[in-house]
């Protein structure tokens, strides 16, 4: 998958960030919904805010739109301080999770609503509405009312309505949440196409990690009101900063292990859960004897019937359960220590011939660059 590489990272590029979030905190009574968040987003970036419900991602988005005022900190959009600027004066448009289409207006009136507020000439409005509806392939439905449209059509109208004012920044709150799986996948790519076509900066809020991975050039993971990690999809998947991120993005096997050797080029950890030693090809800057966590993705583990060479990065066990998913199979392996781990293998062969079966004795093994050591 190709990802646009706009914005090298927070503070990484010399250019002024397009959106700057400085020390934003939002309290509702005693609860802290958003806790001291700093974040820079570059122009034309498609940034995803990923988090579970109650993580504060929607509150952060609503503060960008101007529906909520931050308790502390400030937001700059294109260098302009947004403190005290009401929603109707911000160079920002939002696509709502419920779409929030005006039920008493036709599709074209819905899309024209924002232009009519902006003192655009009638002929110009008509042209821009028609162009926008064509872009989202809703030109034939201009006179329909929202309740006469399907979920996917409403989603397109909502997108057209949010984009027609040519905002500098488009906020999308769970834009694909109400669509079924197949439609969602199609729409993801359409969204990306539109975004790169218009060059508008998108901030997308989602709880769906697949959606975030597909859409985002960069993403931020939120947990309990804090921004835990920001980075590209690959950074977050391969180098999670803690167990929460590792678990939230993709499937993972997590182990507790004790550091026994820490050198600049490698480290060794003894793990009671696998009954063996992990050899990782990077230093971990810890003190020997310290307890650490290891994350090992299921697809990075190999299964063999014969014991592989070497005593490290291997764990014997018995196949407990197999889930056949078509393109790959998920194996649950019960290690000799009693611990269950997940392993996924691609189904390369169409025949069952050599396939593993439940009850087979196997060896799980992985390479020195497969496991990630997590400090927390």
Partner 1 sequence: MSVQQRLNASPAPARRRKSWRLGRHSVIALPYGWLLLFFILPFAFVLKISLAEADMAIPPYTALVEWLDETTLTIQLTFSKYQLLLEDRLYLSAYLNSLKIAAISTVFCLLIGFPIALFIVSRPPHARFFWLAMVMLPFWTSMLLRVYAWIGILQSNGLLNTFLMDVGIINQPLVLLHTDLAVYLGIVYSYLPFMVLPLYAALEKLDPALLEASADLGARPSVSFFTVTLPLAVPGIVAGCLLVFVPAVGEFVIPALLGAPDTLMIGRVLWDEFFANRDWPMASAVAIVMLIVLVAPVMLVRARETATRDEA
Report the SS3 class of residue 341.
strand
Contact flag: residue 118 with partner 1 (CB under 8 A) = yes
Q: Judge contact between 61 and 220, C-beta under 8 A.
A: no
Contact flag: residue 21 with partner 1 (CB under 8 A) = no
Question: In the bound complex, what is the minimum distance in angstroms from residue 29's beta carbon to partner 1?
Answer: 12
Contact flag: residue 165 with partner 1 (CB under 8 A) = yes
Question: Which two three-digit tokens encode residue 254?
Answer: 């997590």
Contact flag: residue 239 with partner 1 (CB under 8 A) = no
> Of 63, 92, 203, 245, which one interacts with partner 1 (CB under 8 A)?
92
Beta-carbon count within 10 A of 142 CB: 18
Contact flag: residue 52 with partner 1 (CB under 8 A) = no
Closest C-alpha to 144, from 112, 106, 97, 177 = 106
Contact flag: residue 159 with partner 1 (CB under 8 A) = no
Contact flag: residue 128 with partner 1 (CB under 8 A) = no
Q: Which residues contact 374 (CB under 8 A, 6 or more apart)?
A: 240, 241, 242, 243, 246, 292, 293, 294, 295
d(CA 256, CA 270): 9
> Of 72, 81, 102, 336, which one interacts with partner 1 (CB under 8 A)?
102
Report the SS3 class of residue 43.
coil
| DSSP code of residue 283 | -
> Of 38, 96, 282, 368, which one interacts with partner 1 (CB under 8 A)?
96
Contact flag: residue 201 with partner 1 (CB under 8 A) = no
Task: Quote the Cα angle for 229-27-158, to 5°.
Answer: 70
Contact flag: residue 113 with partner 1 (CB under 8 A) = yes
Scanning residues 135 to 154, which ones bind partner 1 (CB under 8 A)? 145, 147-148
- Which residues contribute to the site for partner 1 (CB under 8 A)? 65-67, 86-89, 92-94, 96, 98, 100-104, 113-114, 117-118, 145, 147-148, 161-162, 165
């Amino acid at each position: 998958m190709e990802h646009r590489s706009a914005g090298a990272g927070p503070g990484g590029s010399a250019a002024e960030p397009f959106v700057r979030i400085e020390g934003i905190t939002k309290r509702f009574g005693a609860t802290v919904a958003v806790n001291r968040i700093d974040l820079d987003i570059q122009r034309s970036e498609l940034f995803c805010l990923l988090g579970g419900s109650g993580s504060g991602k929607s509150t952060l988005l609503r503060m960008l739109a101007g529906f909520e005022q931050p308790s502390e900190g400030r937001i700059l959009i294109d260098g302009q301080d947004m403190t005290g600027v009401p929603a109707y004066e911000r160079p920002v448009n939002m696509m709502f999770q419920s779409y929030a289409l005006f039920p008493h207006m036709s599709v074209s009136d819905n899309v024209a609503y924002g232009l009519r507020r902006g003192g655009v000439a009638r002929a110009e409005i008509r042209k821009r509405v028609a162009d926008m509806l064509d872009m989202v392939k809703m030109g034939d439905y201009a006179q329909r009312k929202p309740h006469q449209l399907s979920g996917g059509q409403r989603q397109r109208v909502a997108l057209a309505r949010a984009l027609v004012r040519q905002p500098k920044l488009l906020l999308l709150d769970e834009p694909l949440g109400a669509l079924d799986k197949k439609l969602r996948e199609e729409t993801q790519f359409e969204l990306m196409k539109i975004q790169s076509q218009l060059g508008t900066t998108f901030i997308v809020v989602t709880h769906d990690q697949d959606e975030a991975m597909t859409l985002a050039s960069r993403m931020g993971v939120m947990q309990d009101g804090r921004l835990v990690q920001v980075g590209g999809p690959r950074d977050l998947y391969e180098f999670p900063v803690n167990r929460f991120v590792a678990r939230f993005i993709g499937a993972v096997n997590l182990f507790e292990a004790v550091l026994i050797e820490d050198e600049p080029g490698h480290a060794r950890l003894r793990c009671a859960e696998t009954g063996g030693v992990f050899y990782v090809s990077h230093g971990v800057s810890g003190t020997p004897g310290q307890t650490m966590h290891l994350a090992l993705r299921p697809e990075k583990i190999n299964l063999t019937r014969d014991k592989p060479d070497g005593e490290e990065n291997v764990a014997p066990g018995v196949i407990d359960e197999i889930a056949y998913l078509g393109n790959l199979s998920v194996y649950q392996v019960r290690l000799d220590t009693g611990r269950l781990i997940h392993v996924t293998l691609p189904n390369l062969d169409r025949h069952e011939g050599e396939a593993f079966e439940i009850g087979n004795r196997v060896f799980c093994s992985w390479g020195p660059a497969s496991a990630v050591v997590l400090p927390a």
